[in-house]
């Protein structure tokens, strides 16, 4: 089916349909479908998997426009859900994608609650917090663009990855390449900066006030050493969401699905098994 949206979608597993679970995965800031490489195979054995590159990221279009905020991305993914008539959806979001997933969950529950079965937030953005340095730098667009050009995307990406994980020595060349390659064009860098400038929705307080209405089974998966979206965000969400459970992975930073792929997947599959009868 043609995709008439500025998104890119990579599908795995059986086709979506009656009785088939759909796993819709949204990456974080600067990420893409590549971020989910360790989870996609096991999830595809459970159901239909859709890895979404949000507008401006990965293989998705990168139009020269201003609408790159979380609410803009959530609107596009909502249109994808409706176009594909997706049902029995487990919505998974990492970091920025977690913030998009929360907004999308509220929209789905308002309009078609039967579509959303579960929510999985992996170090998901949810509240006002201090910006990490790589996002704060983008608030000086000319400097950020200059540094990316002078230092090179791979060097900058390598530095950021080593700063946000628990074990900097665990960052590999292939991992750096996987993140850097989609950011190598001027259009991608422009989209990245515009996304950072809009990363905090102006009505975030109104959005977060509605989190208690998200009454679906929710997994909060965090690294103990996450300094990008700190653990207090997860703890606050755990106290706010009606049906949430928090899993904290030790010796892990901001990328649980990549830093601890086996342990994080075990936690995820345990949650899916536990909630299977309710989804």
- Write down the domain spans for the chain: 8-131+201-278
CA dihedral sign, ordered 137, 95, 22, 113: negative
How far is it, in rounded angstroms, from Cα 35 to Cα 258?
A: 7
Q: Which of 275, 9, 268 is nearest to 120 (CA)?
A: 268
Relative to beta strand 116-122, strand 48-53 is unpaired
Q: Which residues contact 75 (CB under 8 A, 6 or more apart)?
A: none
How far is it, in rounded angstroms, from Cα 54 to Cα 77?
A: 8
* DSSP helix/strand/coil, 49: strand
* DSSP helix/strand/coil, 251: coil
β partners of residue 222: 248
How far is it, in rounded angstroms, from Cα 235 to Cα 239?
A: 6
Top-tier CATH class for 8-131+201-278: alpha beta
DSSP assigned state of 137: G
pTM above 0.85, yes or no: yes
Phi, psi of 21 (to 5 degrees): -75, 145
How far is it, in rounded angstroms, from Cα 196 to Cα 6?
A: 18
Phi, psi of 95 (to 5 degrees): 55, -120
Q: Evaluate whether 39 touches 110 at the Cβ level (below 8 Å).
A: no
pLDDT by residue, tens only, the chain of 279 residues: 556 899 999 999 999 888 889 999 999 999 999 999 999 999 999 999 999 999 999 999 999 999 999 999 999 999 999 999 999 999 999 999 999 999 999 999 999 999 999 999 999 999 999 888 777 777 776 777 777 776 678 888 999 999 999 999 999 999 999 999 999 898 998 999 899 999 999 999 999 999 999 999 999 999 999 999 999 999 999 999 999 999 999 999 999 999 999 999 999 999 999 998 654
Q: How many CB atoms lie within 10 A of CB 121?
A: 30
Q: Which of 187, 177, 172 is nearest to 152 (CA)?
A: 177
């Amino acid at each position: 089916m043609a995709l008439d949206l500025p998104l890119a979608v990579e599908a795995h597993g059986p086709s979506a349909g009656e009785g088939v679970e759909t796993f819709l995965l949204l990456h974080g800031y600067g990420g893409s479908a590549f971020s989910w490489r360790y989870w996609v195979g096991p999830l595809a054995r459970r159901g239909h998997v859709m890895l979404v590159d949000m507008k401006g990221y990965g293989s998705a279009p990168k139009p020269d426009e201003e609408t790159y905020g979380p609410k803009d991305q959530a609107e596009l993914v909502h249109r994808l859900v409706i176009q594909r008539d997706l049902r029995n959806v487990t919505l998974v979001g990492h970091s920025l994608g977690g913030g998009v997933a929360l907004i999308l969950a509220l929209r789905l529950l308002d309009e078609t609650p039967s579509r959303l079965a579960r929510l999985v937030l992996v170090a998901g953005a949810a509240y006002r917090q201090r910006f990490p340095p790589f996002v704060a730098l983008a608030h000086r667009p000319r400097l950020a663009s200059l540094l990316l050009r002078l230092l090179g995307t791979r060097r900058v990406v390598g530095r950021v990855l080593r700063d946000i994980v628990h074990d900097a020595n665990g960052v590999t060349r292939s991992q750096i390449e996987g993140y850097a390659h989609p950011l190598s064009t001027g259009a991608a860098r422009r989209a990245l900066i515009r996304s950072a400038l809009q990363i905090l929705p102006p009505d975030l307080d109104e959005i977060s006030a509605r989190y208690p209405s998200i009454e679906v089974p929710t997994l909060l998966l965090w690294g103990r050493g996450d300094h990008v979206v700190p653990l207090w965000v997860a703890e606050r969400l755990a106290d706010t969401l009606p049906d949430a459970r928090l899993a904290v992975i030790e010796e892990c930073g901001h990328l649980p699905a990549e830093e601890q792929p086996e342990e994080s997947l075990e936690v995820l599959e345990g949650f899916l098994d536990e909630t299977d009868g309710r989804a």
